[in-house]
Structure formats: C-alpha cells, structure tokens
Amino acid sequence: MEDCIFCRIIKGEIPCSKVYENEHVLAFLDLNPAAPGHTLVVPKKHAATLLELEPGTGDALLQAMRRIGHAQLQVAGAEGFNCLQNNFPASGQEVMHLHWHVIPRRAGDRLIDPWKQTKYASMDQMNAMAEKLGSTIGR
C-alpha cells in the first residue's frame, strides 16, 4: 500500500531501528515507546487488520514476538512483556497495517493498567454468547 507508513518502512523508504527481520516479518523499535525496547512487529505483506492476515504468516509473527520478548528479558531490564495488538480504530489501532507491540515490563511499572472487567448477568447469558460465537466460527 503506497501511503502506509509501515509498508514504506518495510521497503526501506523510511528508516527504522531494526530489531529483527526474516522473509515474512520486520520488527523495529517504536518511535514513541511505552518503555525502552518497545518493539513493533509487522508482517511484510500488507494486511490492515488480523482479519486480512495471509494464512501461514501467523507462525512467523508469533516466533518473532517470542524471540523479541526473550531478548527484552535479557537486555532491556524487563521482568515480563506484553504482546498487544489492536484491530480497527474503535480498538485503538492508529496505523492501518497489522502490527503487534511487544512491550518490556517491570513489576509495578503501571504502564498498562488492567482493563475494566465486567460480568455476564448469568451463566445462561455467557453460554448463549459462547454458542453464538462458536456457531459463527463453525466449530
């Protein structure tokens, strides 16, 4: 995609601080990190959201995140890490190229507060939602 900033980074038109690369994935440091070592992991083939990801690419992305998380534990002073991914603007996605944030974490850093949890009104309501989702997926 011509106007996609991540596609331009992948093509080398815009510089990045590369962390990892293979034939399917590019990983580079976020310009506005939540913590030092915050890395973005993107598929090289453009997909706006997870729904557009080419089959077979997921394993390469997951393995890249695994390697980056391991490295963050070793060199970024991390005691843990988050892998976060948003789909569509309503979820917080700002760049419409599928990407994961791999963010190094330390106990008590409060970088990402837990989300507000809710409850189902009943087990029947919960089971009805599971049934609808399952039927749509085609289990």
pLDDT digits (tens, 9 = 90+) for 50-104: 999 999 999 999 999 999 999 999 999 899 999 999 999 999 999 999 999 999 9
The residue ranking higher by pLDDT, 122 or 138, is: 122
**Start-to-end C-alpha separation, the chain:** 34
3-state secondary structure of 105: strand
Q: What is the pLDDT of residue 139?
A: 64
Set 24, 38, 97, 99: catalytic member: 99
pLDDT in tens, 2-45: 799 999 999 999 999 999 999 999 999 999 999 999 999 999 99
99 is catalytic: yes
- Domain spans of the chain? 5-111
CATH (one of 3.40.50.300, 3.40.50.1860, 3.30.428.10, 3.30.420.40) for 5-111 = 3.30.428.10
Widest pairwise Cα distance in the chain:
53
